[in-house]
Structure formats: C-alpha cells, structure tokens
Structure 1
Amino acid sequence: MLTGRYLVLIEDDALMGNSILQRLELEGANITWVKQAVRGVAAVRTPRRPVDAVICDIRLPDGTGEEVFNAVSRSIAPPPFLFITGQGEIDQAVRLLRAGGADYMTKPFDMPAFLGRLALILRPDPSVGLPPQTGISPLARQVDALVAEFALHDRPVLIRGQRGLGKARIARRIHDLSDRRAAPFVTVNAFREGGAGDELGTALERVGDGTLFVNGVGRLGSRDQDRMMDALGDASFRLIASCGTRIDEKAEAGGFRTDALYALVANEIVVPPLSQRTEDAAWLAGQMFQSLNARRPAPMRGISELAMTAIRDHDWPGNGRELRSRLLRAMDVAAGEWIFPTDIFPELNEEDREVRSLSEVRAMAERRQIMKALDRTGGQVAEAARLLKVSRTTLWEKMQKLGL
C-alpha cells in the first residue's frame, strides 16, 4: 500500500514513534523521523524528495503540530498532514482541518485504522473524486463560461483565488478544451522551497507547443519572472498562471513585474470562495461522496439532509480542500450507512458536551471571527480590523486577550 512513498514522521514519544516507524517501513514506505517541531519544519520544507504525507503529533517538546503546519504553509503548499492528537486537543485538530490539514487521529488508535486513514490522504491523483465543472451556482457558472471562452484562444490566462479552490484543475480544463490538448501540459510549482528556477528552466525545455502552468506565479523571484516573460515573447507555448488574492499589492510594491501582471489579467478568472456559494459546497460534497463511495468495499447510503444543511451553513475557510478532508474522515468514522452532521463536524460533539457561560461563548465567537478575518487578509491586522469594523488597537487588545 505504501511501497515507495516518502513520509515525514514528527513524533517525540519514542514508543509511539517506533511503533509507527516499524509498521510504515513494513508497508514499504521510506520514512524520515524527527522528534522536534523545528526539525519537522526543516524536514518538510527542504526534503530529500517530494513528501507524500506528514504524520505529526500535535504536542511536541518545542512547539505544536499547528505551529509546524503554519510554518510550512507560509513558504510552500504543504503536503497532506495527518495529525495525532489527545482527547483534550480536538478543537486544535479541527482548527487544523479548517486550515487545510488532511485528517487527524485521536490517541489511542489501532494501526489498521491509522493505515486506512493514511491511505485515504495518499491518493496519487489529487483531482480524483472532483467533478469537471466548478459548481452549480451562478458564480460557478461564470467561471465555467470563462474556461470555455479562454480555451478558444492562446493568450495568457490568470486564475486568481484562495487556496483549496482547484485552480490547477481549472488550468488543466482550459488546456484539455483547447487545440493544444494533445501537446504537453507542464506545471511549475512556485510554492516549492528554494524557488522555481531549475524547475522553470526544465519546464520551458519540455513544454514545446503545449501549455505552461505556473502555480503561484506571484511567488516567482525577479529573475524567474524575467525568464518567463522572455521565453513567452518568442516561444510557441501557452501560459496559464495562478495566484492568491494579493498579487496586485505585490506588483505595486515592486515585487512583481507590472507588464507580466497586465499580460495575465487581460484574461482573468477569479474563483469565488465557497463561503460565497453555499449551494456549491453541498453539490460538491455530493459529487465527492459518489466518487469516494464507489471505491468502498461496503458502500454507504448517502449524506443525510441534516448533514447537507450543516455543510451549507459552514463558511469553509479551507474551501474544497477542507470539504474533501472532512468528508473523507466522515466516511471513515460514520457509525451507520448515513453521514450525519457530527461525522463531518466532530467539534459539534465537543460543543454539546458542556454548557458554557455566555462570556466563554462570546470569547469563542470573537476568536473565530478574528481568525477568519486574519485568514482572509493574509494576517494583515489593519485590514482585518477594517473588516471587523473595529480599530486596530481594539483588535490588538482582543488578540492578546484571546491568545492569538
């Protein structure tokens, strides 16, 4: 099952770490085992080969699994993280799912269950289980109309949006619908630690008359930007690039070539987050479920209406990546043939277990909104304060009080 896979294990407990290491090696995986958060960050950021998954304890002697995940996510697109957590750390694990973590296991666990969860997040094709179109909402239909329109010409395209929205899949759809579909589709991942220079050079040699997709174009250094634009000027390939929501600010600050940005935004697709199209979240959950369920030895009946309502009500800060992670876990832990709200949102069980004071509930709600605003603004406190309609000083005080 794991033959040839490269995994990073971050676990300080010798007994637990040895047990996991021995079983994973028995399954054919190659493992790097580190026992500290700081070494875990280094092992994932600068691996000796691409990392297929990270198994990370939440509580470490010099930090937390959350700090490891956040540190890695600031510089690269993180590999799938499977967190190991104690009973008292469920809230933190759920928060990590919302941020893009793949899954978590609660101690103690049996090894077959652990291996099953690991297998789910190690899917070789990240697009498996996702439908070809963006969604059923009017906003999603606008995206799909632009995909079809841009496939008819060869001009550069920019796909802009938050993480977890399938921007790479949209780029591939444009290529597959175009006259270049028989030519190579070559990807350059600018999120990779150390820059994309060597990868970009190799890609430019390989692409020929095909499509060059630069994932995270705003992270290219100035030399790589020059190289890309010089090649585009006299080459026959088609350029598609993706970025987050703040590339304009980077261009204004001199960190991204304005002529490159102008060339890209002339044909731009902005992918709205799932929080703006709740009907797509429910529809996408149904599509994912059908695909995943077909691969189960004992298929389930479906997602209950209560669960679908909970999916529509959730704001999905991790977008499709969070939805897929939660659904995979729900299908694994559901007690019967139907998926219910607490299977997808285990934090509901924690909330129902005790009656909290109004001040505690208010603090939890404020914490969630502040974290959402900071996530939406890329950690910019002043901009987050504007979204929350409070002063920057007030926001700082609340962040300190809430331990953010």
Structure 2
Amino acid sequence: MLTGRYIVLIEDDALMGNSLLQRLELEGAEVTWVKQAVRGIAAVRTPRKPVDAVICDIRLPDGTGEEIFNTVSRTIAPPPFLFITGQGEIDQAVRLLRAGGADYMTKPFEMSAFLGRLAQILRPDENAGLPAQTGISPLARQVDSLVADYARHDKPVLIRGGRGLGKERIAKRIHELSDRQSAPFVAVNAFRDDVSADALVAAFETASDGTLFVNGVGRLDGAGQDLLMEALGQGPFRLIASCGTRIDEKAQAGEFRSDLLYALVAHEIVVPPLAQRGEDAVWLAGQMFKALNERRAAPMRGVSELALAAIRDHDWPGNGRELRSRLLRAMDVATGEWVYPADFFPELNQEDLEVQPLSEARDLAERRQIIKALERTGGQIAEAARLLKVSRTTLWEKMQKLGL
C-alpha cells in the first residue's frame, strides 16, 4: 500500500514510534523517525527526498506539532500532516486542521484505522516518471510538480524568485504542457522594456487564446496594473506572471494593486535560489556542460570532482545565469581535458590579496559548512551538529541567523 512512499515520523514515545515504524516499513514505506521538534522541522523542510506525508505527535519534549507545522509552512508548502493527539489536545488538533493540516487521530487507535486515514491524506505521486527540469533536489521537484499541476487548469499563475532562476522557462513549460500549447506564447519583459498601456494591449491581442507571460509584473505602472486586472476576468488568454521576492512590500506601500497580487498568489510557484540547492547547482552544471561540450570541435572529458565540490559550496548569487556564465568561461580557459575549480572561480587566485571583514568571512565560511553538513546528513540536525562539533541548539541558532 505504501511502496515507494517517503514518510517522516515525529514521535518521542519509543513504544509508539517503534510500532508505527515497523508497520509503515512492513507496508513498503521508507521512514525517517525523529523524536524532537527541532529535528522534525529539518527533516520536513530539508528532506533527502520529497516527503509524501508527515506523522506528527502534538506534544514533544522540545516543542509541539503545531510549532513544527507553522514553522515549515512559512517557507514551503507543507506535505500532508497527520497529527497524533491525546484527549486533552483535540482543540489544538482541530485548530491545526483549520490551518491546513490533513487529519488527526486520538490515542489509542487501531493500526488498521491509522493506515486507512494515512492512505486518504497521501498526496498523489505526481513526480513518478516526471523528468527533472528544475533540478533533482526535493525543492526543485516540488517546483516541477506544481508546473505539471498548474498546466491542467487556466487560472493565473505567479512565479516568484530571484533573477537567473529560469522563470520564463518555467512559464513556457506550463504553456507547453497545457491545452493552449498550439496557441501563441507571448512574453512581455517589464525588467528590460518600458511597457506602455498600448504595448500591453497589443500583447493581449497577440496572445489571443494562448498564454501571456509578464516578466517582472511588479514593475508595471498603475495603468498597466489596471489593464491587467481588468483583463483577468475578460481576456481569452491565460496569464502567467513573474516577480522578485519583494512584491509584498510594494503592495503594502501602495505601489502594487493588492487585489491583483491576491489574484496571482492563489496559484504561486516559489523558485528557491541555488544557494539552498547545492545538488541542483551540480546537476545543472552537468546538464549545461553536456550541451556545450557537444558543440565543441574538440570535446572535453568533463568537470572534475574538485570543481563539482566547489560548485556545490558556492553561494551562486546570480543563480543559473551566473552558473552558465562561469561554465562558458571555464570551458574557454581550461588548458586540459578537465575543468578545474580555478577555471570556474578565478577569484580563488586572488583570495590571498583581498581583505574581507572578519564577520563577513566567518558568516560565509560557517554558511558553507552548515549547508555541506546538512546535505551530507539529509537534513538531520543532530547528525549535522555532530559533524560540525557543535550542539544542536547552537546549530539551530546559526541556521536561523544565516537564513537557512
């Protein structure tokens, strides 16, 4: 029944945890069992593979299931949560359902009833057979899953993220997977162009019954926003828009129509930066290298393991755009059959000549090591803390400070 499913179990009671673990594995599931709230947050937010469901006790030694759910929900769309509660915690469980939790069960319960309720909340395995497009990390696979889901309807979509994350490419994939694929895909770039009302109306007409993509929707002036809001209910085209990470601030300041923002965020795709997806940076480098290498008169052998490690550790402030630029340069300047770290990052040769504030250098070094430890341990806070030789509390505080 659960073959191929990945489930996170957050339960501090040894007897209950062992019982659930054994039965879930007997049903074919892969289970990560943690006993503390801080580890539960990490296991769900930075999992080693996409999470199909979370089984979470409400009362834990260092927090509550409600705190876990609320913390996870602030950064990602949470997987289905099945809460386990005592009689005195039913009010809290009901509150969690209203907040987006999937279901709850009151102790004690029959295992057959538990498995039945779990089966009901499991999200469809939409990634099965879905080729990786954005990346191979759980965060990237979630983006690809939403792309496939949103291609099935015609409602407006907002793609949010920093520059260089391929937001227009994601919009095109939604269009190409949709019933509108044979109609035009028209892109309006508010980042590069001064989009007048006349230009926007012309784009509406060109898109016809296809897809209109507005890149940088937050940069439209008031007239442009008014036209877009009016067209949402009348135009034959399907709207997909993109924006940066600060459009909410513009809406709060009155610089962007809040009703237009609400209409867009109902179906939103948030593309995480490459700084949070080291494995995707390596994967993207491999995909780009293969395509570029095929065009060379004298193909190279590949990107060295040392270079891959450097790619994984880099913060990538320019995201995929920076990665492609660095790879092009690296392949041009490489003197042998392999690409090495210095080919990718020539600034490494200048490190001894540059002086950086100690606080910035320390934060950057700590951030890289924490990311590396979390990737190696599959997001397990305690194991990462052990590798880094700090306490779990210290690691958790540093992660919060560094935005991890």
TM-score bin (small chain): 0.5 to 0.7
Offset at residue 161 of structure 1 (A) = 0.2
- Partner of 1:56 in structure 2? none
Mapped partners of 2:300, 2:174: distance in 1:
34
- AA at the equivalent of 1:347: E
- AA at the equivalent of 2:342: T
- Partner of 2:278 in structure 1? 278
- Partner of 2:232 in structure 1? 232
- Partner of 1:323 in structure 2? 323
From the superposition, tell whether residues 132 and 169 of structure 1 become closer, same or farther in structure 2 (CA, over 3 Å): farther
1:107-122 to 2 correspondence within 5 Å?
A: none
Is residue 362 from structure 1 mapped to residue 358 from structure 2 by the alignment? yes
Contact 1:166 1:320 in 2 (8 A): yes
- Partner of 2:382 in structure 1? none
SS of structure 2 residue aligned to 1:245: coil
Structure 2 unaligned spans of 5+: 1-130, 366-399
Mapped partners of 2:361, 2:253: distance in 1:
35
- Partner of 2:198 in structure 1? 198
Offset at residue 270 of structure 1 (A) = 0.2
- Partner of 1:373 in structure 2? none
Offset at residue 188 of structure 1 (A) = 0.8
From the superposition, tell whether residues 272 and 223 of structure 1 become closer, same or farther in structure 2 (CA, over 3 Å): same
- AA at the equivalent of 1:227: L
- AA at the equivalent of 1:291: A
- AA at the equivalent of 1:240: I
TM-score (normalised: structure 1): 0.56
Offset at residue 351 of structure 1 (A) = 2.4
SS of structure 1 residue aligned to 2:139: helix
4+ residue segments displaced more than 4 Å: 366-369, 386-389
From the superposition, tell whether residues 361 and 196 of structure 1 become closer, same or farther in structure 2 (CA, over 3 Å): same
Mapped partners of 1:229, 1:132: distance in 2:
34
SS of structure 2 residue aligned to 1:292: helix
Is residue 301 from structure 1 mapped to residue 301 from structure 2 by the alignment? yes
Offset at residue 200 of structure 1 (A) = 1.1
Is residue 219 from structure 1 mapped to residue 219 from structure 2 by the alignment? yes
> For residues 69-115 of structure 1, what are the alpha-carbon distances to aligned partners after superposition, in whole Å with 9 as ceiling and x for unaligned?
xxxxxxxxxxxxxxxxxxxxxxxxxxxxxxxxxxxxxxxxxxxxxxx
Structure 1 unaligned spans of 5+: 1-130, 370-385, 390-404
From the superposition, tell whether residues 190 and 338 of structure 1 become closer, same or farther in structure 2 (CA, over 3 Å): same
Mapped partners of 1:136, 1:388: distance in 2:
24
- Partner of 1:174 in structure 2? 174
From the superposition, tell whether residues 213 and 174 of structure 1 become closer, same or farther in structure 2 (CA, over 3 Å): same
1:34-45 to 2 correspondence within 5 Å?
A: none
TM-score (normalised: structure 2): 0.56
Mapped partners of 2:208, 2:161: distance in 1:
28
1:4-403 to 2 correspondence within 5 Å?
A: 133-351=133-351, 362=358, 365=361
- AA at the equivalent of 1:199: A
Mapped partners of 1:366, 1:195: distance in 2:
43
Offset at residue 196 of structure 1 (A) = 4.1
From the superposition, tell whether residues 327 and 362 of structure 1 become closer, same or farther in structure 2 (CA, over 3 Å): same
Mapped partners of 1:317, 1:282: distance in 2:
15
- Partner of 1:103 in structure 2? none
From the superposition, tell whether residues 188 and 267 of structure 1 become closer, same or farther in structure 2 (CA, over 3 Å): same
- Partner of 1:115 in structure 2? none
- Give the greater-gyration-radius structure (CA): 2
Contact 2:132 2:144 in 1 (8 A): no
Identity of aligned residues (%): 70
Offset at residue 388 of structure 1 (A) = 7.1
The number of residue pairs the alignment matches comes to: 240
SS of structure 1 residue aligned to 2:335: coil
Offset at residue 348 of structure 1 (A) = 1.1
From the superposition, tell whether residues 360 and 233 of structure 1 become closer, same or farther in structure 2 (CA, over 3 Å): closer
Mapped partners of 1:349, 1:244: distance in 2:
33
SS of structure 2 residue aligned to 1:300: coil
Mapped partners of 2:257, 2:133: distance in 1:
32
SS of structure 1 residue aligned to 2:143: helix
Contact 1:213 1:240 in 2 (8 A): yes
Mapped partners of 1:361, 1:265: distance in 2:
39
SS of structure 1 residue aligned to 2:223: helix
Contact 2:132 2:141 in 1 (8 A): no
Contact 1:210 1:237 in 2 (8 A): yes
Contact 1:164 1:318 in 2 (8 A): yes
Offset at residue 367 of structure 1 (A) = 10
Superposition CA RMSD, Å:
2.4
Mapped partners of 2:189, 2:196: distance in 1:
7
SS of structure 1 residue aligned to 2:159: strand
Offset at residue 341 of structure 1 (A) = 0.3
From the superposition, tell whether residues 305 and 367 of structure 1 become closer, same or farther in structure 2 (CA, over 3 Å): closer
SS of structure 2 residue aligned to 1:158: strand
Mapped partners of 1:194, 1:156: distance in 2:
23
Contact 2:164 2:319 in 1 (8 A): yes
Mapped partners of 1:220, 1:340: distance in 2:
43
Contact 1:188 1:196 in 2 (8 A): no
